[in-house]
Amino acid sequence: MSPMIWATLVISLTTSTTIVMTSHHWLLAWLSLELNTLSILPMIMRSSHPRTTEAATKYFLIQTTAATLILLASTMNAWQTGSWNIMQSYSPMATTISTIAIMMKLAIAPTHLWYPEILQGTTMTTALIISTWQKIAPLTLLYLLTNHLSTNMVLLLGLTSALLGGWTGLNQTQTRKILAFSSISHMGWLITALCLNPSLATLTMITYMTMTTTMFLSLAASTSKTLLDL
């Protein structure tokens, strides 16, 4: 991939996430999420290996499904309340659908099975971007929806994700899969913290990103693919 194309994709990725972070309109947020997905796909596919094509296809299907659910939820909410504002009053059904969609994007259990396979099929650099930067946009939406979320539902999903991520990661030998299940577990604790204290969730997110970036860069530098390579 040429440096010019790579720079364009990085700028597009950064811009789309920034727009989601500053947006209060559902359509603008949805459009930015789609741009974000289209920007990361060429990064996943930059290698000619068949596994990267498979990973990109899986990522595309999951992200577009989640984006479709977000569009459905926002349309239902606009139909019932007359507002496209993310922070306005919410109908219960629209809240449930948008919560499920965001959980899919964050790879929260039980919608987490796609995540380890995609990280395993990409390079360390792309896996780092998916595990850190790509979490920011859906987490921003979750922050904006905090007052409308079902606390019991989010706590249940968060604790399930934390437990499943920890247990499933125990019998893995591939470093990227271990980091994937670690990420699933961390996201579970993060949304649990979000229900209890948003400031604590922000601190958790910063800590998670710092640790994950350090681990991925260390593994990329040592070219370690399994625990035996360490």
pLDDT bin (cut points 50, 70, 90) of residue 228 is low
User: Residue 35 pLDDT > 80, yes or no?
Assistant: yes
Whole-model pTM: value is: 0.89
Q: Average pLDDT, stretch 62-85?
A: 91
Count: domains in the chain: 1
Closest CA to 36 of 69, 12, 4: 12
Instruction: State the pLDDT at residue 155.
Output: 92
Instruction: State the pLDDT at residue 172.
Output: 84
CA neighbours closer than 13 Å in the CB half-sphere of residue 128 = 15
Q: What is the pLDDT of residues 162-220, one digit of tens each?
A: 999 989 888 888 888 999 999 999 999 999 999 888 888 999 999 999 999 999 998 88
Query: DSSP letter at 197?
Result: -
Q: Average pLDDT, stretch 82-109?
A: 87
Q: What is the pLDDT of residues 108-123, one digit of tens each?
A: 988 888 999 999 888 8
Let me know: does 188 contact 157? Beta carbons within 8 Å: yes
Closest CA to 129 of 82, 179, 165: 179
User: Residue 36 pLDDT > 90, yes or no?
Assistant: yes
Query: Which residue segment(s) compose the domain that 104 sits in?
Result: 3-229
Residues 6 or more apart whose CB falls under 8 angstroms from that of 163 comprise 185, 188
